[in-house]
Chain A
Amino acid sequence: MESKRFSLFSKRLLPFWVVGFIMLILLPLLNAYIPEGTFGHVSNYKLNLYGKFLCYAIVAIGIDLIWGFTGVLSLGQGVYFALGGYCMGMYLMLGIGGEGVYGNALPDFMVFLNWDKLPWYWPPFRHAWFALPATVFIPGIAAMVFGFFAFRSRIRGVYFAIITQALTFALWLLFFRNSIGLGGNNGLTDFKTILGFRLHEPSTMRGLYMASAIALGLFYLAAAWIVHSKFGRVLVAIRDNETRVRFSGYSVAGYKMAVFTLAAVMAGVAGALYVPQVGIINPSELGTLPSIEMAVWVAVGGRGTLFGAVLGAIGVNWAKSLLTGSTTFAEYWLYVLGLLFVVVVMLLPDGLVGLPKRIRRALPTRKEPIESAPVAESVTASGGEGR
């Protein structure tokens, strides 16, 4: 059937508005006005943690668009996250001014390296009007250029995954170098202010949290709009049968490039919001593990459903913070994560979102003939979106 028109106030979006209200309005209020120690109080630490989760959720939406809907697995979204983060980090770094350890207008690490002036690409980041848009454009342009070459030559499937991972690995090595002027191993840190607000004030943190919530909401709506548009249906068509899409007269490379760029922009913005909340950006964000972890958030939540992506990002990271928060279990986190990869891929191809349906289907009749049919497999993979 022709799919329903996208509308902000459709019934389908009701949960979105409810959850959005809780995340955007209620939690910050609980943080600001319920005194500490009282029931219902949300601590600064918690709110900050949730803020990070929201950023991850933004990345996850982008990954879901490119992977869940379009079928292109990128193992390099951490790159764009880090690019956005570094853009923000440079802005914050220059905002330190003379407050650094050395009391020098140059960032501390440059003083430490005996540099006497900023490299040429630094000064523009002094200005918020440059730095903030840069968090969108730099990841976006990087993704567009890479996407152009990769999609034009029809690098896809596992090849695309491997190449993105290799690129991530190469950049990870590159960012460790002091000579590129981004703080090397230690990255950028010790930020003091953002847009004139002191970063250590709870109110600033609350503001950043709310900015993350708003960004997540907007990106969610944009993504929902996209997947319900013809564009989104073409994406799913590409996932299911790229050749047919091409022979129907669509430029597959163009679509892939567009959605890949969009996903990168989301990652970049998420990175930019993430950095002031955690107070540091360093090459570890660029590692191959963080990037592939991001894909797993989406797999856990449910590929091909936006809600699943958000759920997966927040759920997995919540579990991670629970485990790594306690020292006795910290070293078991990698086991858990590893098992998560295996279990989700083998037993839950629709992720958590598909779990209820799977249970329901498993209960009355024992086994359905889904073994040999990739068709039936991918029909269920689109989850609750199409129908």
Chain B
Amino acid sequence: MSPEQQPRAPHDTILYVEGLTVSFDGFKAINNLNFIVEVGELRVVIGPNGAGKTTLLDVITGKVKPTTGRVFYDADVDLSALTENRIANLGIGRKFQTPTVYVNHSVYENIALSLPTGKSVWRALVSTLTGRDRDTVEGLLSRIGLAEKASQPAGLLSHGEKQWLEIGMLLAQDPQLLLLDEPVAGMTEQETDATVELIHDLADDHSIIVIEHDMEFVQRIARKVSVLHEGTLLCEGTMEQVQSDPRVIEVYLGRG
């Protein structure tokens, strides 16, 4: 396409989704979705099962390619043309619904492998951790509360600890945009509290998109909420606005 045709998002948007449709064999998981996140924003995306929330993250991170429509990151980077690892290196970090960590590596190693440097094949052969890297890793370890378990294999962590470790790994990537898919699923009360705190903390210098089902948790973190339904944006606004929107009530109550 020619440059003049290419839409340019305003410079203070970190994510600009335009006319996005994703269909699997005719089933439209996302249907003509428009979605904008501004720099430094903490956005919560809610919606019933099958609303297309995870698919949206899949498209942003390059795991699924859009059928039509475009996704721009940082004003002018077209994400739909890039591979997952390129997108990750642009500064988009994603936490999965079920924690994904390297079970055979130590907790320390899990974080160290997520550092943003030395990712090419050749670099990895000779790359060693610098003093600053070590500081970063150790800082992150204490931030996620796993400093004592640094030498344990990650496979032996509890479910909640793995969730935290994954967040730590994400942070090690030094991303600008964090995508968190149900970050407190399976966490204890205490762990959830700590996560809320962490997210508030992170929101100061990151843009964050959170997908969540746990309404109590949403209430605690949400500033702006987007409701997805059957692949399209139902409404957007503060928690109160959204909760009082008749369409949202219809969707949630109508579906039980």
List chain A positions with a Cβ less than 8 A from chain B: 1-3, 5, 226, 229-231, 233-234, 236-237, 239-241, 243-252, 254-255, 258, 375-376, 378-379, 381-382, 386
- Assembled-state Cα–Cα distance A185/B81 (Å): 48
What's the nearest-Cβ distance from chain B to residue A260, in Å?
Answer: 12
Q: Is the CB of B124 within 8 A of A234?
A: yes
Q: Is the CB of B127 within 8 A of A230?
A: yes
Q: How many residues of B contact A (CB 8 A)?
A: 42
23 A-B pairs (CB sep. < 8 Å):
A1-B106, A229-B126, A229-B127, A230-B113, A230-B118, A230-B124, A233-B109, A239-B104, A241-B102, A243-B96, A243-B100, A244-B96, A244-B166, A246-B85, A247-B88, A247-B94, A247-B100, A249-B89, A250-B119, A251-B85, A258-B121, A378-B155, A386-B153
In the complex, what residues of A have CB within 8 A of residue B169's CB? 244, 248
Given contacts A1-B150, A230-B124, contact A382 B104 (CB under 8 A): yes
Interface core residue of B103, B114, B134 (most chain A CB under 10 Å): B103
Task: Answer yes or no: B9 CB below 8 A from chain A CBs.
Answer: no
In the complex, what residues of A have CB within 8 A of residue B191's CB? none
Q: Is the CB of A241 within 8 A of B129?
A: no
Task: Answer yes or no: B18 CB below 8 A from chain A CBs.
Answer: no
Q: Is the CB of A247 within 8 A of B121?
A: no
In the complex, what residues of B have CB within 8 A of residue A240's CB? 102-105
Pairs of residues from A and B, 10 with the lowest C-beta to C-beta distance, nearest first: A249-B88, A375-B155, A231-B124, A1-B151, A244-B100, A249-B89, A237-B102, A246-B84, A230-B124, A230-B127
Q: Is the CB of A249 within 8 A of B116?
A: yes
Q: Is the CB of B104 within 8 A of A386?
A: yes
Q: Is the CB of A250 within 8 A of B155?
A: no
What's the nearest-Cβ distance from chain A to residue B159, in Å?
Answer: 11
- Measured CB to CB, the nearest residue on chain A to B166 is A244
Task: Answer yes or no: B140 CB below 8 A from chain A CBs.
Answer: no
- Assembled-state Cα–Cα distance A240/B100 (Å): 9
In the complex, what residues of A have CB within 8 A of residue B121's CB? 231, 251, 254-255, 258
Q: Is the CB of B105 within 8 A of A379?
A: no
Q: Which of B85, B102, B118, B124 contacts A236 (CB 8 A)?
A: B102
Binary flags per residue of B87-102, CB closer than 8 Å to A gives 1, else 0:
0110001101000111
Task: Answer yes or no: B1 CB below 8 A from chain A CBs.
Answer: no
In the complex, what residues of A have CB within 8 A of residue B83's CB? 246, 251
What's the nearest-Cβ distance from chain B to residue A4, in Å?
Answer: 12
In the complex, what residues of B have CB within 8 A of residue A237's CB? 102, 105, 113
Given contacts A2-B112, A247-B61, contact A236 B125 (CB under 8 A): no
What's the nearest-Cβ distance from chain A to residue B76, in Å?
Answer: 20
- Assembled-state Cα–Cα distance A231/B118 (Å): 10
Q: Is the CB of A379 within 8 A of B155?
A: yes
Q: Which of A2, A246, A248, A254 contacts B109 (CB 8 A)?
A: A2
Q: Which of B103, B126, B128 contacts A379 (CB 8 A)?
A: B103
Task: Answer yes or no: B16 CB below 8 A from chain A CBs.
Answer: no
- Assembled-state Cα–Cα distance A5/B128 (Å): 9
Binary flags per residue of B131-156, CB closer than 8 Å to A gives 1, else 0:
00010000000000000001101011
Q: Which of B108, B127, B134, B173 contacts A249 (CB 8 A)?
A: B173
Q: Which of A246, A252, A258, A379 contacts B156 (CB 8 A)?
A: A379
Interface core residue of B88, B102, B114 (most chain A CB under 10 Å): B102
In the complex, what residues of A have CB within 8 A of residue B100's CB? 241, 243-244, 247
In the complex, what residues of B have CB within 8 A of residue A376's CB? 155
Within 8 A of A (CB), among B204-227: none
- Measured CB to CB, the nearest residue on chain B to A380 is B104
Q: Is the CB of A248 within 8 A of B88?
A: yes
What's the nearest-Cβ distance from chain B to residue A144, in Å?
Answer: 12
- Assembled-state Cα–Cα distance A239/B129 (Å): 22
What's the nearest-Cβ distance from chain A to residue B148, in Å?
Answer: 12
Q: Is the CB of A247 within 8 A of B105?
A: no
Q: Is the CB of A241 within 8 A of B127?
A: no
- Assembled-state Cα–Cα distance A328/B231 (Å): 70
